[in-house]
Amino acid sequence: MTQWLLDRSFRSSSGEVRWAALGEARPGTPPVALLHGTPFSSFVWRGIATALAERRQVFVWDMPGYGASEMREGQDVSLAAQTRVFGELLAHWDVTEPAVVAHDFGGCVALRAHLLHGAKYARLALVDPVALAPWGSPAYRLLGAHSEVFGQLPPELHRALVRAYISSASHPGLHPAVLDRLVDDWCTKEGRPAFYRQIQQSDRRFTDEIEGRYGELDLPTLICWGAQDSWIPAAKGEQLAAVVPGARLRLIEGAGHLVQEDAPAQLGAILREFLG
């Protein structure tokens, strides 16, 4: 349940990125790139990535400042930086037109790469994405506004805070082993300051720069949303689907923001159908 290994490394403009490729490339079948959100890592895609890899090649990666990738003082982990790194990875993978599945702020990264930097996708699936202002839960905004204060918490209190915060992303509740795995990344010597760093560098301007351009999207687009998402309400999914031409919206009952953990079988089936 908690084993997940990214066995390859890439030196990006924001530090070392750990990544992996699952499955085999197949002629006529575009590969899939999976993008995680915050405060998670590619670990949350483990089940769906494995399932999708039965029929196509799947690329997974931990963004700089997350999971197994490099975490360091002064690191640029903003959404603009993550967008730049995604473009670098697509070139490194020699992938020109993948299908992209993106969760949370990974959705913003995928949208920015496409709308601002010309990255081409065969298809785009957005899962509870950060796309429309305002975004960020009250807790997220509080942590961002006072990151220097929270960053001084002793390790045991920091762990309790991160555990409570990540727990709130799930509607039915996370398996204890999965929750521990997600929390552990942020409780190392490097992980504690990295947790507050990535929140401090979040900025609404990164979605403001693209929000008025969603009507330009001209590719098959699927929007999935946990019906019980307490971080970004499902109403945002309806709003987003209304401005993206031809977008399909699928609400997943019983799932919160972390749909991959709350309803992996249902989300996986929806994605397999969409990807073809």
pLDDT in tens, 185-241: 999 999 999 999 999 998 899 999 999 999 999 999 999 999 999 999 999 999 999
Q: Are 77 and 197 in contact (CB under 8 A)?
A: yes
The confidence band for 36, taking pLDDT boundaries of 50, 70 and 90, is: very high
The confidence band for 1, taking pLDDT boundaries of 50, 70 and 90, is: low
Q: Are 18 and 80 in contact (CB under 8 A)?
A: no
Q: Which residue intervals of 118-263 are DSSP H helices?
A: 138-145, 147-150, 155-167, 176-184, 191-200, 205-211, 234-243, 259-262
Helices and strands counted in the chain (H then E):
12, 8
Tens of pLDDT along 85-142? 999 999 999 999 999 999 999 999 999 999 999 999 999 999 999 999 988 878 888 8
Q: What is the mean pLDDT of residues 54-80?
A: 97
- The owner of tokens 């351009």 is 213
- pLDDT at residue 259 greater than cutoff 70: yes
- pLDDT at residue 21 greater than cutoff 80: yes
Angle between helical axes of 176-184 and 155-167 (0-180°, round to 10) = 130
The reported pTM is 0.96
Give the whole-angstrom CA distance, residue 102 versus residue 107: 5
Give the number of other Cβ atoms within 10 Å of residue 253's Cβ. 11
Of the chain, the percentage scoring pLDDT greater than 70 comes to 100
Strands 15-22 and 58-61, bridge-based pairing? antiparallel
Q: Are 272 and 258 in contact (CB under 8 A)?
A: no
